[in-house]
Structure 1
Amino acid sequence: MGAQQREYRQRSRSVQSTKKITRAMELIAASRVVKARQRVQETSPYARSITRAVSAVATHSDVDHPLTTERPDARRAGMLVITSDRGLAGAYSATVLKRSEQLRTMLEEDGREVVPYLCGRKAEGFYRFRRRDFETSWSGFSDKPTFEAAKAIAERITEDFIAGADGGGVDEIHVVYTRFVNMVTQEVQVLRLLPLEVVEGVEAPEEHELIPLYDFEPSGTQVLDALLPKYVVSRIYNALLQSAASELAARQRAMKSATDNADELIKTYTRLANQARQAEITQEISEIVGGASALADAK
């Protein structure tokens, strides 16, 4: 009985230590997700506006630009997969990787060779464990992305897209990331970044948002040359920020769940330890009463 008590007390202390860690990680994620949400709110209007501007130029200028022209003989498709660098975020990275595998299957069924570009150590580990090849990877900034990191990614994939399949590059670029909706809901999204998909020249405007009119000076080609690099960088930067906010929100929920489970385990081990102690006391009383009865019978 004494051994059982010690075991339950030891397990309870171990869970207490784990609870302190999960609680600390929950508080850290909760404090950081506020700033991450603010950065998403600050960059999203710009990303929507520049996409609308580029779409308007591409629609109304009748310019065949390399970054907006659909390639009929597309053979290679680039896939940028944005995951986290660290774990303990629930199913955040697993959901992104699952969606990327679905996209990969769909592209391969269409006869395209998939060229992965990975962002985050979880994606790198996923591909290395399965001994799969990937073009390149970036890591170290998943929960706090910088504009410089987004620019480096944009320059690489734009360069490969311009080169095309014949030049060792790709014919289209897809981005798989997690869109931050709110603290409870985060949705995995697939965005075809290049060539730019134009739908009537604009994206769907938000409520009470005015749709601007554009006049191009000096020409649509020059405007596209100036806007498209900014468009690619802004969309990738926004995708990184959305993913960072989603990662922190998922980590906060996961750590909150782990902390609650630790509380339940501590209660369970405390109850088992008390039961073992009561059983030990009952046994000692029974032994004393039995000994006293034996002495009385001997007399």
Structure 2
Amino acid sequence: MPASLRELRQRRKSVQTTKKITRAMELIAASRIVKAQQAAAAAAPYSRELFRAVSAVATFSDVDHPLTNDVESPQRSAVLLITSDRGLAGAYSSSVIKAGEQLTARLHHEQGQEVLPYLAGRKAIGYYGFRKRQVAQQWDGFSDSPTYTQAREIADALIEAFLTPTEEGGVDEIHIVFTRFVSMMTQTPTVVRLLPLEVVEGTEPPAPGELLPEYEFEPDPETVLDRLLPLYVANRVHFALLQSAASELASRQRAMKSATDNAQTLIETLTRQENQARQAEITQEISEIVGGASALAESAPQA
């Protein structure tokens, strides 16, 4: 049954209102993503140099530190899942949750580990809460504008769980699942093992003629690692939060632009249907007037 002219006008007005909302959200995300990109890019050099410093201490010293020692048969792992606090960002949060589920399945079924979820973002909290799953710790309210203080709070909780013996509820490994910002069109879910630290510097032989650096650690390598590794973990968490924030805003801008374009297409369709309905009503009214005039002319008495 074709819709009436009034229904078509109401639907078009409703879609126009929705279009204004999605367009406003698109512009807001576009205005904030530049700042988020700059914050993520600014954190990269410090993160890279901090990693080089930690790698140098771990490589060129004989320190046996708990944050760098692999466990032969890990029994329990912590997984930090970073999602958004709000929706309307396309498949951003669902992609991270899917990657986290795949990691959990691999750790649990293939390696026989128990997995403790650490959640950042209301989408992950809602996902686990709806399924009544146990959560070790959760944080929310800062997915689109994280600070180093919040990252340090998460890092301290992860380090505390890592340093706790497994028999007392601690973990042997820490993994982090977040979205890496590649470009405005590409954001990739990424899984990284945060602890134990995987040292890669010094694993390749030096090139011919290359001189290896000589390090001196003061007061001693163990104390240096005790100071550097918590900073390193906090920095990695902060960098992941910044990458996720930029990815969230890019996903939201793209999703809202798609919604705005779809709303415009629907408005054009409804406008065309409204014009057709109005023309049909006018044609029907003209037909009724002509028919009534003919009936009056036929019923009039002959002179």
Cα 1:202–1:152 change in 2 (3 A) is farther
Q: What CA distance in whole angstroms lies between the structure 2 residues aligned with 1:58 and 1:246?
A: 32
Distance change (3 Å), C-alpha of 1:265 and 1:297:
same
Residue 48 (str. 1) matches residue 48 (str. 2): yes
Q: What is the CA–CA distance in structure 1 between the aligned matches of 2:150 and 2:285, rounded to whole Å?
A: 69
In structure 2, distance between residues paired with 1:277 and 1:220? 83
Partners of 1:169 and 1:247 lie apart in 2 by 31
1:190-243 CA-to-partner distances (Å, cap 9, x unmatched) read 01000001224489xxxxxxx994613223222211210110010000000000
Task: Give the fraction of aligned pairs with identical amino acids, expressed as a percent.
Answer: 62
Moved over 3 A (4+): 200-203, 211-214, 295-299
The answer to whether residue 122 in structure 2 is matched with residue 117 in structure 1 is no
| Equivalent in the alignment of 2:284 | 283
SS at match of 1:46: helix
Query: Scaled by the length of structure 2, what TM-score is found?
Result: 0.92
Residue 33 of structure 2 is matched in structure 1 by 33
SS in 2 for 1:102: helix
Give structure 2 stretches of 5+ with no counterpart: 205-210
What's the offset of the Cα at 1:49?
1.6
Output the CA distance in 2 between the equivalents of 1:152 and 1:131.
25
The answer for the alignment partner of 1:256 in structure 2 is 257
Shift of the 264–223 alpha-carbon distance from structure 1 to 2, 3 Å rule, reads same
Partner of 2:102: 102
Matched length: 292
Contact 1:58 1:201 in 2 (8 A): no
Report the Cα distance in structure 2 between the residues aligned to 1:250 and 1:97, rounded to whole angstroms: 15
- Partner Cα separation in structure 2 for residue 2 and residue 88 of structure 1: 32
SS at match of 1:140: coil
How far, CA to CA, are the matches of 1:166 and 1:196 in structure 2?
A: 22
- Residue 296 (structure 1) shift: 3.6
Supply the RMSD in Å over aligned alpha carbons.
1.9
Residues 212 and 83 from structure 1, CA distance in 2 versus in 1: closer, same or farther, beyond 3 angstroms?
Answer: farther
Q: Find the residue that maps to 1:81 and give its secondary structure.
A: strand
- Measured against aligned partners, the alpha-carbon deviations of 1:228-266 in whole angstroms (never above 9, x if no partner) come to 011001000000000000000100111111111111111
Alignment match, 1:8: 8
Distance of aligned partners of 1:2 and 1:133 in 2 relative to their CA distance in 1, 3 Å threshold: closer
Structure whose alpha-carbon radius of gyration is higher: 2
SS of residue paired to 2:233: helix
Shift of 1:298: 3.7
Is there any run of 5+ residues in structure 1 with no aligned partner, and where? 204-210
Measure the CA separation in 2 of the matches of 1:279 and 1:96.
Answer: 51
Task: For residue 71 of structure 1, report the CA deviation from its aligned partner.
Answer: 1.1
SS at match of 2:174: strand
User: Is 1:267–2:268 an aligned residue pair?
Assistant: yes
Please state how far the C-alpha of 1:269 moved relative to its aligned partner: 1.1
| Closer/same/farther in 2, CA of residues 172 and 2 from structure 1, 3 Å limit | closer
- Work out the CA distance in 2 between the residues paired with 1:177 and 1:212: 35
CA contact (8 A) 1:2 1:280 kept: no
Q: Secondary structure at the match of 1:189?
A: strand
Q: Using the TM superposition, name which of 221-230 and 96-105 deviates more.
A: 221-230
Amino acid at match of 1:67: L
